[in-house]
């Protein structure tokens, strides 16, 4: 019997309608931990990276970590992996809530979706019992409607992870939503699921996750909880105001992306800040499974407003995506847009940034009048009606412009002849930090294996948020390559373990490694833990190389390289990417084209 890992993989061949179970490859589990790393290993070994991401040859893998479903702090995470319909690179999107633990309780570490169903279906997993069921009655429905219907016909305590209309219509920024509001958000994983015609995976598990050393595990958990409670980030900022607590800071220092990254400060920031949410629309805070932080916000639009509704959010990234990046300072409109994104199941970052790209294209006169004439709103910065309207067009692919929006910001800007107005990397939109004011983030965006991403190497933690005596100059490129490599490798291990990245604001890698060892019975040293993260990062890179990506894709938009940011604390700054990239490749043990050398592959067990 395994500890930490459930020890079993569930395969669903949708073309043949076959369900099979197999033992987890424990040699791979020990080399790649679980979640992100193990899912990547399976994907790398089983698909051609050159395959059509919306075709039957792609696979969609739902992967948990060995700490998922334990009582480790924040032990509720799972990953959705596939070849990305948005980037054509590796896709690995992280979500919390309760679905991942429920899959472990049912006895599975991973679910692998293969082939393509001829009709809409959903997967019903109840411990050992697994069925492929017809989903025609929920096809076209929102995520909330779908969850209510499927729980009613399976088990009221079941957990549901699925897609909305955006995924069904293979919108390239579609995500997977579980528990009605938790999102595996980035890289278009919902489109890959929709292409397979899988509406949802419904799970009810009544088992438990066994840990190898219960006494030691309890000790490490209790120590970790004390550290989390004492951390000003996890106990005060995230618990008190959620991720929206970041709005005021980034705006004050001048790196809150505004109007498609044309500015770094938004005049309406105070009205959409964490404090504004707490004072006007907050109902309560909320946590995921085994979470001592509780960063999620349950909110409701109150008082007279053309926008009405209630739900979860918005997170900081959503406030940027459908707020400042689109020039919208109406908090009620941002909340309503957030609720729609959850119902349609679209990534709030990419959806908002795509709309911001469209707004700049329109304001600069690059979209022909005949294309704009079909829109029932004026496509311009600051128009909340345009944001709401574009979300609907995007999710349902309505009309020519809806089809273009559904392709994501890069393809939209490319279609209209101005790809330079797309603010992202590898066709994935930037997150909510302008890299001209945090140059390590610029390198992180450029080199992230899944396209622009802040969570793959969050150098904000050392460039702006660290104590003054530990902070690195955000405007300097000195030492940023080494920091990014360290942060990227560390994030890979954490994502694979099954805990949330937010817990790392309090817990150092040695503590998370200790949780892993006590749960699994393994004896990884801190050096082993770091090496495993490096192995995961490099196998992701190998997948991307196989898909045709390389140095040409490790870049930033011309605006970041050539147009100085003005205002706030960062006037006159651009990202000097090339020297950081050259040093980064050298530290990674890659050649000048960004390919791992044979020596590096041998050292990591990837030869």
pLDDT value at residue 442? 98
**pLDDT interval class at 540 (50, 70, 90):** very high
**pLDDT interval class at 568 (50, 70, 90):** confident
Quick one: which of 349, 62, 11, 41 has its CA closest to 193?
62
Quick one: which of 201, 1, 3 has its CA closest to 110?
201
- Residues 359/379, Cβ–Cβ less than 8 Å: yes
H helices present in 475-552, as ranges: 480-497, 509-520, 526-546
Distances from the Cα of 407 to the Cαs of 162, 171, 251, 399, in angstroms? 20, 6, 30, 13
Q: Is the dihedral of CA 209, 215, 220, 226 positive or negative?
A: positive
**pLDDT interval class at 607 (50, 70, 90):** confident
pLDDT value at residue 452? 98
Computed over every residue of the chain, the mean pLDDT equals 97
Q: CA geometry: angle at 369 spanning 367 and 372, to 5°?
A: 75
Quick one: which of 143, 521, 148 has its CA closest to 343?
143
pLDDT value at residue 453? 97
- Residues 505/515, Cβ–Cβ less than 8 Å: no
**pLDDT interval class at 567 (50, 70, 90):** confident
d(CA 296, CA 313): 7
Residue 30 has pLDDT above 80, yes or no: yes
Residue 82 has pLDDT above 90, yes or no: yes
**pLDDT interval class at 50 (50, 70, 90):** very high
Q: What is the pLDDT of residues 165-222, one digit of tens each?
A: 999 999 999 999 999 999 999 999 999 999 999 999 999 999 999 999 999 999 999 9
| Three-state SS annotation for 334-394 | HHHHHHHHHHHCECHHHHHHHHHHHHHHHHCCCCCHHHHHCCCCCCCCCCHHHHHHHHHHH
d(CA 107, CA 22): 12
d(CA 535, CA 540): 9
Q: How many residues does the structure list for the chain?
A: 607
Angle between helices 526-546 and 509-520 (to 10 degrees): 90
H/E stretch holding 222 reads helix 214-230
**pLDDT interval class at 304 (50, 70, 90):** confident
Q: CA geometry: angle at 393 spanning 171 and 445, to 5°?
A: 50
Q: Is the dihedral of CA 437, 439, 445, 446 positive or negative?
A: positive
pLDDT value at residue 560? 98
Q: What is the pLDDT of residues 590-601, one digit of tens each?
A: 999 999 999 999
CATH numbers and ranges of domains, the chain: 8-204 (3.60.9.10), 232-428 (1.10.569.10), 434-603 (1.10.599.10)
Q: What number is the average pLDDT over the span 528-541?
A: 98
Contacts of residue 26, Cβ cutoff 8 Å, sequence gap at least 6: 2, 5, 7
Residue 606: other Cβ atoms inside 10 A: 16
pLDDT value at residue 266? 97
Q: What number is the average pLDDT over the span 331-355?
A: 98
| Token code pair at residue 68 | 């998922």
DSSP lists the bridge partners of residue 284 as: 298
Residue 1 has pLDDT above 90, yes or no: no
Q: What number is the average pLDDT over the span 336-350?
A: 98
**pLDDT interval class at 127 (50, 70, 90):** very high
Residue 569 has pLDDT above 80, yes or no: no
d(CA 330, CA 534): 43
pLDDT value at residue 117? 98
- Residues 435/261, Cβ–Cβ less than 8 Å: no
- Residues 278/245, Cβ–Cβ less than 8 Å: no
Contacts of residue 367, Cβ cutoff 8 Å, sequence gap at least 6: 358, 361, 379, 416
pLDDT value at residue 570? 83
d(CA 84, CA 521): 34
Q: Over pLDDT 90: what percentage of the chain?
A: 97
Q: What is the pLDDT of residues 460-469, one digit of tens each?
A: 999 999 888 8
Q: What is the pLDDT of residues 451-500, one digit of tens each?
A: 999 999 999 999 999 888 899 999 999 999 999 999 999 999 999 999 99
d(CA 49, CA 607): 18
| Three-state SS annotation for 311-341 | EECCCHHHHHHHHHHHCCCCHHHHHHHHHHH
In the block, residue with structure tokens 């999107």: 93
d(CA 496, CA 539): 13
Residue 250 has pLDDT above 90, yes or no: yes
DSSP annotation of 232 reads: I
């Amino acid at each position: 019997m395994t500890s930490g890992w459930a020890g079993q993989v569930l395969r669903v061949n949708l073309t043949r309608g076959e369900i099979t179970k197999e033992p987890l490859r424990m040699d791979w589990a020990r080399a790649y931990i679980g979640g992100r790393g193990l899912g990547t290993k399976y994907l790398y070994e089983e698909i051609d990276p050159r395959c059509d991401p919306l075709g039957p040859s792609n696979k969609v893998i739902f992967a948990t970590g060995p700490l998922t479903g334990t009582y480790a702090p924040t032990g509720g995470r799972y990953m959705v992996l596939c070849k990305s319909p948005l980037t054509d690179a590796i896709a690995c999107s992280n979500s919390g809530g309760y679905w991942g633990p429920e899959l472990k309780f049912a006895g599975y570490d991973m679910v692998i979706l293969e082939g393509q169903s001829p009709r809409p279906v959903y997967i019903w997993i109840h411990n050992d019992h697994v069925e492929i069921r017809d989903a025609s009655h929920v096809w076209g429905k929102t995520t909330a409607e779908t969850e209510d219907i499927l729980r009613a016909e399976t088990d009221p305590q079941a957990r549901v992870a699925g897609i909305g209309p955006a995924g069904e219509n293979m919108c390239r920024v579609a995500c997977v939503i579980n528990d009605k509001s938790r999102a595996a958000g980035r890289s278009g994983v919902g489109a890959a699921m929709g292409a397979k015609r899988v509406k949802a995976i419904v799970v009810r598990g009544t088992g438990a996750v066994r840990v190898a050393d219960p006494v030691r595990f309890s000790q490490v958990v209790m120590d970790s909880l004390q550290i989390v409670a004492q951390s000003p980030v996890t106990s005060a900022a995230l618990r008190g105001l959620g991720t929206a607590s970041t709005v005021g800071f980034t705006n004050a220092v001048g790196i809150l992306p505004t109007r498609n990254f044309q500015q770094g400060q938004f005049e309406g920031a105070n009205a959409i800040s964490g404090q504004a949410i707490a004072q006007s629309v907050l109902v309560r805070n909320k946590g995921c499974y085994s979470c001592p932080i509780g960063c999620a916000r349950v909110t409701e639009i109150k008082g007279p407003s053309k926008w009405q509704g209630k739900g979860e959010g918005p997170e900081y990234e959503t406030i940027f995506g459908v707020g400042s990046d689109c020039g919208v300072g109406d908090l009620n409109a941002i909340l309503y847009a957030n609720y729609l994104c959850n119902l349609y199941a679209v990534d709030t970052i990419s959806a908002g940034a795509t709309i911001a790209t469209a707004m700049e294209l329109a304001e600069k006169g690059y979209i022909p009048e005949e294309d704009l004439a079909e829109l029932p709103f004026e496509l311009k910065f600051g128009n909340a009606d345009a944001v709401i309207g574009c979300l609907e067009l995007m999710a349902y692919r309505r009309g020519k412009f809806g089809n273009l929006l559904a392709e994501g910001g890069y393809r939209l800007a490319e279609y209209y002849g101005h790809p330079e107005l797309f603010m992202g990397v590898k066709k994935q939109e930037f997150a909510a930090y302008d890299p001209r004011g945090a140059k390590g983030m610029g390198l992180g965006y450029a080199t992230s294996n899944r396209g622009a991403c802040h969570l793959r190497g969050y150098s904000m933690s050392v460039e702006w948020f660290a104590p003054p005596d530990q902070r690195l100059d955000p405007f300097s490129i000195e030492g940023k390559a080494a920091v990014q490599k360290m942060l990227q490798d560390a994030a890979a291990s954490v994502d694979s373990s099954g805990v949330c990245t937010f817990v790392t604001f309090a817990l150092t890698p040695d503590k998370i490694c200790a949780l892993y060892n006590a749960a699994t019975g393994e004896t990884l040293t801190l050096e082993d833990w770091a090496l495993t993260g490096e192995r995961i990062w490099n196998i992701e890179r190998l997948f991307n190389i196989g898909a045709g990506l390389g140095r040409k894709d490790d870049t930033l938009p011309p605006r970041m390289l050539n147009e100085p940011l003005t205002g706030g604390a960062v006037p006159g700054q651009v990202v000097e990417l090339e020297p950081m990239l050259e040093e980064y490749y050298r530290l990674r043990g890659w050649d000048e084209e960004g390919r791992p050398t044979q020596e590096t592959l041998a050292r990591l067990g990837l030869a």
